[in-house]
């Protein structure tokens, strides 16, 4: 019996039982020694028995409404929220069950800063910060095509977000935050998608589609299905003594309108597309550091919502 393999799978499942937002989850597995994307999911899988640990922080800065604008919303009988920024710290682990099968698990800590709300007829309430352990996710990547010439791969992506996050966080007045601001969602959310990768010497072209079916969770709230669509071009400029990758991505995120007790929130959901330049530095095919800056080029949000000013992603990963 392969006790090492069983032990590592148990560790992966442990991290899977540990957020809800516009955030995406970069998946390790672009293939160490090869160039690859940061947010876009690669079709590459790890070698059998290979383990990768990944520490990551994602920061989204929002374009807040002014206090006067929130007061106007209240006078217009509109309940509109303000958020300064969202930060997600996460720990991930990836394990190569077989050369064509990789399992990924990630557990986040979610922090939303300075939440405000317009309250009709003429008030603006400060709620403070919402924070706590978020919902974990586990994904399996099953490669079903690998052609050495012309160096093409395709993988099926299947995942599940598990309701392990905190759903009882309270504001500065001791009242429970609404479901959309809780670190956890309270819902079981399956996802399914596909990823493709085409390499040519130092270049890699990657693309993926991933649809997440969001179910009803805490406070009778359905936060809305999510559709991620990404494409990335990466180029390895330096190969010795370190690997240096230059990356440009287009990252799209569509979210369905939120429903609370069966009633749709018209000020939720929509579509955002980021153009995301990035860089990765890898030492000895084992230790990598990466960063990506997402600049929104399309924001088609429903109703009145905070636009995203920018998204910043930074992480480090280690191959064992």
DSSP string, 9-29: HHHHHHHHT---SS-----S-
pLDDT at 149: 86
Q: Is 74 helix (H, G, I), strand (E, B) or coil?
A: helix
Strand 85-98 relative to strand 189-200, pairing: unpaired
**Taking residues 146-165, what's their average pLDDT?**
95
Q: Which residues pair with 199 in a beta bridge?
A: 204
pLDDT at 285: 80
**Taking residues 87-108, what's their average pLDDT?**
95
Look at residue 69 and tell me whether its pLDDT is greater than 60: yes
* 242 touches 280 (CB < 8 A): no
**Taking residues 139-145, what's their average pLDDT?**
96
pLDDT digits (tens, 9 = 90+) for 232-273: 999 999 777 888 999 999 999 999 999 999 999 999 999 999
How many structural domains is the chain composed of?
1
pLDDT digits (tens, 9 = 90+) for 285-296: 889 999 999 999
pLDDT at 116: 95
Range of the domain at 212: 3-319
Look at residue 283 and tell me whether its pLDDT is greater than 60: yes
pLDDT at 27: 42
User: Which position has the token pair 């390499």?
Assistant: 199
pLDDT at 242: 86
Q: Is 128 helix (H, G, I), strand (E, B) or coil?
A: strand
pLDDT at 286: 87
* 58 touches 23 (CB < 8 A): yes
**Taking residues 12-21, what's their average pLDDT?**
38
- H-helix segments, the chain: 3-16, 67-75
pLDDT at 28: 43
Q: Which residues pair with 280 in a beta bridge?
A: 245, 290
Which stretch of 34-43, 215-224, 300-309 has the lowest confidence by average pLDDT?
34-43
pLDDT interval class at 20 (50, 70, 90): very low
Instruction: Fill in the DSSP letter of residue 215.
Output: P
Average pLDDT, the chain: 89
Rounded to whole angstroms, the Cα distance separating 81 from 61 reads 15
pLDDT at 65: 94
Distances (CA, A) of 231 to 71, 195, 259: 41, 10, 30
pLDDT at 284: 83
CATH number at residue 301: 2.40.128.130
pTM listed for this prediction: 0.90
DSSP string, 247-259: EEEEEEEEEPPPE
pLDDT digits (tens, 9 = 90+) for 200-243: 989 999 999 999 999 999 999 999 999 999 999 999 997 778 88
Strand 189-200 relative to strand 152-162, pairing: antiparallel
- CA angle 100–105–106, rounded 5-degree value: 145
pLDDT at 18: 36
Rounded to whole angstroms, the Cα distance separating 54 from 311 reads 19
What are the DSSP E strand ranges found in the chain? 51-63, 81-82, 85-98, 101-119, 123-133, 136-147, 152-162, 189-200, 203-212, 221-222, 226-238, 242-255, 259-260, 263-264, 270-283, 287-301, 307-319
Which range in 12-16, 18-22, 98-102 is most confidently predicted, on average pLDDT?
98-102
Distances (CA, A) of 170 to 42, 127, 166, 217, 259: 38, 9, 11, 17, 21
């Amino acid at each position: 019996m392969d006790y090492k393999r069983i032990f590592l799978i148990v560790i992966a499942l442990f991290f899977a039982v540990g957020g809800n937002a516009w955030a995406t989850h970069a998946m390790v597995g672009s293939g160490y020694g090869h160039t690859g994307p940061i947010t876009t999911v690669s079709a590459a899988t790890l070698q059998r028995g290979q383990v990768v640990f990944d520490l990551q922080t994602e920061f989204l800065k929002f374009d807040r409404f002014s206090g006067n604008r929130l007061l106007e919303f209240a006078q217009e009988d509109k309940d509109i929220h303000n958020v300064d920024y969202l930060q997600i710290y996460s720990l991930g682990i990836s394990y190569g069950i077989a050369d064509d099968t990789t399992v990924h698990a990630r557990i986040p800590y979610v922090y939303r800063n300075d939440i405000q709300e317009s309250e009709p007829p003429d008030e603006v309430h400060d709620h403070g910060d919402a924070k706590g352990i978020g919902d974990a996710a586990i994904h399996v990547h099953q490669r079903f095509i690998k052609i050495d010439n012309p160096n093409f791969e395709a993988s099926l992506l299947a995942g599940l977000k598990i309701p392990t996050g905190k759903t009882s966080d309270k504001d500065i007045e001791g009242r429970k935050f609404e479901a959309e601001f809780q670190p956890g969602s309270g819902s079981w959310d399956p996802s399914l998608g596909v990823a493709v990768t085409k390499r040519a010497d130092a270049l890699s072209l990657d693309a993926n589609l991933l649809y997440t079916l969001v179910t009803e969770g805490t406070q009778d709230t359905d936060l809305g299905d999510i559709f991620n669509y990404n494409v990335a071009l990466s180029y390895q400029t330096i190969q010795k003594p370190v690997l240096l990758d230059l990356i440009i991505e287009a990252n799209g995120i569509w979210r369905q309108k939120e429903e609370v007790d069966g009633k749709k929130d018209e000020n939720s959901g929509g579509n955002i597309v980021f153009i995301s330049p990035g860089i990765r530095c890898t030492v000895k095919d084992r230790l990598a550091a990466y960063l990506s800056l997402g600049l929104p080029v399309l924001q088609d949000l429903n109703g009145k919502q905070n636009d995203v000013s920018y998204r910043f992603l930074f992480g480090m990963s280690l191959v064992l």
